[in-house]
Amino acid sequence: MRHLLTFSIFATIATFVMSCNSKSTMPGAGELDSDSVEVLTVADTAIYGTVDESTTMHMLTINMDDGKQQTFAMNLDSLGSDIQGGIFAGDKVTLTVTKGEEEMQVVKCVNLSTLLGKWTSLDRNFQIEENGVVKSNLAAESNPYTQWQMVNARIILNADTFDILTLGADSMELENSKGIFIYKRQR
């Protein structure tokens, strides 16, 4: 009886180990089939609009596309709101916000009007235009940028997503997992 019980326990453990090591035939339950493509989608929760002339040093007022107006607090201290590209009345911006103590607080603001234009680096030369278009020197670059979009105040150039570290009148720094990329505005 003791041998039968030991054999039964051993057989159960062996069956369990073998089943864990076998590959699953169901997509999504283990390795993906070679024809499957995993698509990660991130909801864009950023706010888009035009800077209103009533914007002050600590309050950003945005005219939304639907005609409404919204005001957000800006903390310009060293650990406060991240403002890239400046804030000028009439410029298009995108921003991410968080709930502050009394009002919505700007986390990051990117001036889309400042972002537009010609940018150059050692290995890239491209122009960011409205409506998601990027013009590049297609012959000179191995993987030229052809399109762009903003998602949660981050720029996506083709399939590469970047944080905008700095954006000014004459320079831009972008960062992703591959490093920091510095661009100069070309006039």
CA distance 81 to 153: 13
**pLDDT per position as a tens digit, 151-168:** 999 999 999 999 999 999
Q: How far is CA 55 from CA 64, 71, 88, 166, in A?
A: 14, 8, 9, 22
What tokens appear for 48 in the block? 């888009």
Query: pLDDT at position 12, please?
Result: 41
This prediction's pTM: 0.75
What tokens appear for 139 in the block? 């012959």
**pLDDT per position as a tens digit, 83-142:** 999 999 999 999 999 998 888 999 999 999 999 999 999 889 999 999 999 999 777 778
Residue 184 pLDDT level (bands cut at 50, 70, 90): very high
Residue 78 pLDDT level (bands cut at 50, 70, 90): low
**pLDDT per position as a tens digit, 14-35:** 443 334 444 333 333 333 333 3
CA distance 70 to 136: 36
Residue 3 pLDDT level (bands cut at 50, 70, 90): very low
Among residues 97, 141, 113, the alpha carbon closest in space to that of 51 is found at 113
pLDDT > 60? residue 185: yes
Q: How remote is the C-alpha of 100 from its chain's centroid?
A: 23
CA distance 108 to 74: 9
121-151 burial, b for 16+ CB within 10 Å, e for fewer? eeebbbbbeeeeebebeeeeeeebbeebebe
**pLDDT per position as a tens digit, 41-72:** 679 999 999 999 999 989 999 999 889 999 99
pLDDT, greater one: 45 or 40: 45
Query: pLDDT at position 41, please?
Result: 67
